[in-house]
Amino acid sequence: MIIAGAAALPDSLPPAQWMPGERGYDADRFRDALEEKGIRPCIPGRRSRGKPVRYDRRKYKRRNRIEIMFGKLRDWRRVATRYDRCPAVFFSAICLAETVMVWPGVLSLARSRLRGMTLAGSG
């Protein structure tokens, strides 16, 4: 069951306003642990839950961005096969992969902003 592994998760989470999650994370004790940390859960209730749970549907639909990021990360063989056994080296491989994946988008955004700016004193 997913909840068994998620019991230690709230203690290690960084500060956040809300947390999206799949229906498998729908448990009152997990929700309570998130709320104690000041995080609003954005987790739909299971179908078997008696009383429906309120959640923000727009935020819940955006969770696919996280899943897409993990899918791209798995394209890196070194990360997908957990080639590095040392946690520090494995984490550095993840950081390197993310940098390579994100950097082209950052560069294109910077270029588009620079094109729209004029140099001070010219023109």
Where do the structural domains in the chain lie, given as residue ranges? 1-62, 64-118
Tokens representing residue 66 in the block: 């996280």
**How many angstroms separate the CA atoms of 24 and 27, rounded?**
8
Q: What mean pLDDT comes out for the span 18-36? A: 84
Task: Answer whether 21's CB lies under 8 Å from 9's CB.
Answer: no
Predicted confidence band of residue 121 (pLDDT cuts 50, 70, 90) = very low
- How far lies 89's CA from each of 12, 37, 100, 103, 105, in Å? 20, 30, 17, 21, 25
Please write the tens of the pLDDT for every residue from 50-67: 888 888 888 888 887 777
Q: What is the pTM of this model?
A: 0.54
| 3-state DSSP assignment of residue 58 | helix
